[in-house]
Amino acid sequence: MIKKIFIQNYKIFNRFDLDLHNDLNILVGDNEVGKSTILEAVNLALTKRLNGKFIEYELTPYLFNKQCANDYLQSIKRGEPKPLPEIIIELYLEDNSELESLKGSMNTKKENCIGIKLEIVFDESYKEDYEDLIKKTDDITLIPAEYYKIQWFGFDNNPINIRSLPLRLSYIDATTIRLQSGTDYYLQDIIKTDLDAKERVALSVAYRKLKEIFSQQESIKEINKNLTTKKGAITDKDLSISIDISQKSNWETNLIPHLDDLPFQLIGDGEQNALKIMLALERKAVKSNIILIEEPENHLSFSSMNTLITKIREKCEGKQIIISTHSTYVLNKLGLENLILLYNNKTTTLKNLPNDTQKYFKILPGYDTLRLVLAKKAILVEGPSDELVVQKAYKTKHDKLPIDNGVDTISVRGLSFTRFLDIAKELEKDVVVVTDNDGDYENIDKKYKPYTDSSDKIKICRSNNNSAPTLEPQLTACNKLEVLNKILDKSFQDEESVRDYMKKNKTECALKIFETEESIIFPDYIEDAIR
């Protein structure tokens, strides 16, 4: 099992550390924060493959972190060349007697640990060529990846023979279904490792026989006879067709799994994924079984996703699963305690939050937490009526609902703003709290001071008018009686009775306000929140 991942200069990550749980890990974060890159990096370090091909063939300047690439290129321009940046991916593994030969201190942390590292480094044998190149500084606009080599070592600094290691990796990427000729690589691997030696031999023999029978067919013989007459134009050799029986082509590349008699490629994307995930989960247990799943919710109907997630939960025992997701549903179903939040090259888990906040979210693992995590910006309000009014105010001002701009309005139950602010602080999220002043705005300010002091992204909006302690008196204070009567379809005689009515029918009134065509004035603290 992987204890820890370190990534340096790879894609979005400059220097990045991630601690993993032993069983289930759910990576959650905005788009472009590098969820997929983490899975890709783990796969790369364990298989030396990127996009299903060996990294040697996929080595491009774009693998390098932009910032480190720019630093380097700038230094060349200035004529003070810095050393070429290096990509390092390190996987720190749990102690395991079968992997002992991978133990050593040859990692960036100098830790005595079992591990695997993949490094993309300058190949010294190109030293002269490279020195020539940097003399002509104008020529370099990209990292010269052609001068790099791949090093794939254990933490003992010896080359890796991954086949001999009791480690299994399944990488299921639902965002892009990759199918090369025949069965795709991962599927092949899964099927192959699930068959025992006898079955594999039987399959190979049967496949070979099939090829022989093909060439014995009368029609094929006839065709080949005809083809033989075609020689002469280019070559004098006999031309014929046959199935490739060389070592290169074996059953794995030519046989295709069928599901209900449908070839695998013709099955819907979602089902293909689900099948791959299921196969990976059903694999024979080896000591270390690592499963990477990218956005399992993709291409799946809600009900199939539900089945799939249930399956993941049931089967994950003894396996380490790293899952990336955008779906609140997946997260909620798999458990908040496994959550790893990704944000700005940083990560946090619930462990980093204060103890009582952790407890709160474990007892009440609503979707709301994840809404906060996934939103670009969030407005926290006290209840459904505040939520409606704030949304209305936002729509009036911006002509769009807040959610259309990536701003999520979250109604926080039981006034647990501070719980959410603990997460917001940790994630450096833009969060606005819209709160009643409860007749003492200074007290409110005092309550939130620890948050506003430690983060300039947290903003508290409350009215400084202590005589209007909640939303309803605030609304009656800034709107004329006839406007409110019109909106509520009532005919109250004074401000006090409309206020009492609104207090008693909060949600109903808020809904009317939300739906009205009348122009209504919002209290300053709400205007401030939606700016």
Interior/surface letters 329-345, b for 16+ CB within 10 angstroms, e for the rest: bbbebbebebbbbbbee
Q: Which is nearer to other proteins, 92 or 153 (CB)?
A: 153
Alpha-carbon span 23 to 20, nearest angstrom: 8
Q: By CB under 8 A, tell whether 311 contacts other proteins.
A: no
Residue window 102-131: x/- pattern of binding to other proteins, with contact defined by CB under 8 A: -xxxx---x-x-------------------
The CA distances from residue 528 to 270, 433, 439, in Å, are 44, 11, 19
Q: Which of 385, 378, 379, 380 lies closest to 470, judged by CA?
A: 385
Q: Shortest gap between Cβ of 373 and other proteins (angstroms)? A: 39
Q: Closer to other proteins at the Cβ: 119 or 269? A: 119
How many residues of this chain bind other proteins (CB under 8 A)? Answer: 15
Q: Look at residues 35, 208, 3, 28 and name the one whose alpha carbon lies nearest to residue 103.
A: 3
Note whether 487 binds other proteins by CB under 8 A. no
The residue (of 19 and 111) whose beta carbon lies closer to other proteins is 111
Of the two residues 101 and 250, which places its CB atom closer to other proteins in the complex? 101
Closest approach of other proteins to the CB of residue 8, in Å: 16
Q: How far is the CB of 100 from other proteins (least distance, A)?
A: 4
Long-range contacts of 251-254 (CB under 8 A, 24+ apart): 251/203, 251/204, 251/207, 252/182, 252/183, 252/188, 252/191, 252/192, 253/180, 253/181, 253/182, 253/183, 253/188, 254/181, 254/182, 254/207
**Closer of 156 and 495 to other proteins (Cβ):** 156
> Shortest Cβ distance from residue 97 to other proteins (Å)?
7
Binding of other proteins by 253 (CB under 8 A): no
Please state, in angstroms and rounded to a whole number, the distance separating the CA atoms of residues 111 and 103: 10
**Can residue 83 be called a binding residue for other proteins (CB under 8 A)?**
no
Shorter beta-carbon distance to other proteins: residue 193 or 452: 193
* Closest distance of CB 112 from other proteins, Å: 6
Interface residue with other proteins, options 58, 100, 129, 194 (CB under 8 A): 100
**Starting from the edge strand earliest in sequence, which strands make up the sheet with 458-461, in order?**
407-411, 377-381, 430-434, 458-461
Interactions with other proteins, residue window 135-194 (CB under 8 A): 151, 153, 155-158
Residue nearer to other proteins on the CB measure, 101 or 396: 101
Please answer whether residues 42 and 36 qualify as being in contact, where contact means their C-beta atoms are separated by less than 8 angstroms: no
Binding site for other proteins (CB under 8 A): 97, 100-101, 103-106, 110, 112, 151, 153, 155-158
